[in-house]
Structure 1
């Protein structure tokens, strides 16, 4: 997700030099802690544990596939300052809209870095840069974002551990599950239109096949793209294939 400014190559590698991480628990200790937490269903405690493991200061777990909607309903759990989340929301929405479906898939479990908006009021001592990991839970796409102290070293190995474990926790704790069922529940007509789009048919051709008007077909297709958070027919097809809808 190109959230505000995505840093790559040498710039991204620079995020792994700085202050040395100390007093961080081992992978085995982390797994033991999360095993106990998972049974209790305490998501906030689990996210705090993951945040401490990677050496970050604050976490934010968001439904990436919902950020184009109004409000802050896409936030699953966060200990970021509320005003900072509000400042970030607009930047997330605009940048997510510019990201293609392929780019979203390529970012899974890969640590990425972005800059907070210029007007964002960050906590004292925190870097204006933040780190994010993208993961899928069923049909839902989530992003786990970390704030960290200015100059702190972030381990790519620990970040990958966190991405995999966050995916497991989000799945076991069913993060956003009820919302996901509503948002991605396509009607029979919408699924039919999606199928014929995948077959390469135009709106006029689909209208002839289904015996309804071209405008109605376009309305169904628009609804499909809204529910799947895609911008084009090609992206909708990619989403359908990835989720076994066609």
Structure 2
């Protein structure tokens, strides 16, 4: 069968106009997260996770910006472990060329294999990690599926570009939802003691304030980290290095 240039052009993966239009119209955090789902769907991935590279007081403090992974899975892995896996797997992705995989050192190959094996045990049979960035931020986009072979690898470069475009359209404040400097000292203390299993009354005695004041600090902390309850706020604060 003869294949001419026009046929090859038609065969190239393309982002749908709907996805591009949705990215261009992003004005809120909810729209941003919706667009991540659209980008993932363009590749055949059923799951996505966007991990922000971040440093606080000179130390690495990665943060999960958005994800449709099972919440318990994200908590079990933790942002630090996700970043280690992301770096190993993204390095492997970058070495794959159209003609095949370029030679990699044993250490890189072993790290990549360990990361994929571990994620497979958590229900992600196929995982790809794409490094993405805009002028201010560096992130890793995890695209995964419980079924091996369901992600179109030819669509990954476009997905990466689309995510970079989406990052540039991120609404103001999205990446400030969780910051090590967001919580006051008292809010951190209250979260810390509750994480240790103390009740509001016990925390009040420790800090020399009323239980109502402790509950007020906790409610402020929950709102600041974008959580829906104390357990999620504690998990997010620990992951971000706040407590």
TM, length-normalised to structure 1: 0.47
| Rg (Cα) greater in structure | 2
